[in-house]
Structures are given as structure tokens and as C-alpha cells.
Amino acid sequence: MYSFLVVAHSLVRYFLLIALILVIIRSLMGWMNKSAYSKLDDKLSLGLFMLTHTQLLLGIILYFISPIVIFSGASMKDPIARYWLVEHNTGMIIAIVLITMGRITMKKLTDGVAKHKRLFIFNAIALVIILAMIAQSQRGFFGVTY
């Protein structure tokens, strides 16, 4: 079960990053071109929202069953153990909160350009955090195993 969850978590990461980049590009183009917010924009944002929360669920399960996550005070002295115990989760949860806030607060806006701007800002910051957390993992962007 553990290996299945690791692979699923790794695969969802790629779909999430693709969706995040698509939302960022479309929202930047919509913001700069002062375009209306379309149904496609909404579907892409919703898809990103769903992928993000699926990834969160898989990550929470892995957090509690992973042999790499060691719940002890000694983990704080080991950079790798500390990363998986605290840093990865904190960074990713912040990114998830940003993606969620972008989606929820955007829905309350009526102006299409403002929606694009809101999505771009929140999702771009989330992308930077996600890429920083992946880079900090020291297993590479294409690493699958924890």
C-alpha cells in the first residue's frame, strides 16, 4: 500500500504542476489582455483545486505511514528527517492554502480581469513555494521514492 501511495503522490504532482502552470499562463494572459473570465478558465481552476486537495490527502496519509518521517526530537537535528517531518509539509500546506484562497476569493469577484489577476498572483506564489520545496527535497524533480 505504501509504495502505491508514493507512486500516486508522485504522479499527481506532475498533473498538479501542469494544471498550475496552465492556470498561471491563462490568468496572466487574461489579466494582461483584459479578457473575460471564461468557462474554460473556471474548469482549469477547479481542476487545479481538485488535484491540489487530492495531493494533500495522499500527502497526509503518507506522512503518517512513511518510514522516512520520524517522530522524535532527534529528527530536528538531521536535515533530511527535519525536511520530511516539518519543512516539506509546512511549505506545501502554505501553497495549498494559497491555491485554495485564490480560487475561493476569485469566485466572489465579478470583474473577469480581477479574477485573472487574483488567480495569477495566488497561484504564482504557490508555484514558487512548490518548486522550492521540490528542490529542497534533494531527490530531484523527477524522483519518485521517498
Predicted confidence (pLDDT) per residue in 86-136, tens digit: 999 999 999 999 999 999 999 999 999 999 999 999 999 999 999 999 888
Q: How many domains does the chain have?
A: 1
Query: pTM, whole model, 2 decimals?
Result: 0.89
With a cut of 70, say whether residue 146 has pLDDT above it.
no
DSSP for 36-51, please give it. PPPHHHHHHHHHHHHH
Flag whether 142 is in a domain: no
Give me the domain span that covers residue 49. Answer: 2-136
Flag whether 143 is in a domain: no
Q: How confident is residue 71, by pLDDT bands cut at 50, 70 and 90?
A: confident
Contact (Cβ atoms closer than 8 angstroms) between residue 123 and residue 48: yes
Number of residues that this document lists for the chain: 146
Flag whether 6 is in a domain: yes
Flag whether 73 is in a domain: yes
Flag whether 66 is in a domain: yes
Flag whether 103 is in a domain: yes
Q: Which one, of 84, 57, 92, lies nearest residue 139 by Cα?
A: 84
Mean pLDDT of 32-52: 96
Question: Looking at this protein, which amino acid is placed at residue 80?
Answer: I
Question: What span, in angstroms and rounded, lies between the C-alpha atoms of 50 and 80?
Answer: 29
Q: How confident is residue 140, by pLDDT bands cut at 50, 70 and 90?
A: low
Question: What span, in angstroms and rounded, lies between the C-alpha atoms of 111 and 59?
Answer: 35
CA 122 remoteness from chain centre: 11
Q: Measure the N-to-C terminal CA separation of the chain; round to a whole number of Å.
A: 14
Flag whether 145 is in a domain: no
pLDDT, residue 81, reads: 86
Mean pLDDT of 49-77: 91
pLDDT, residue 66, reads: 87
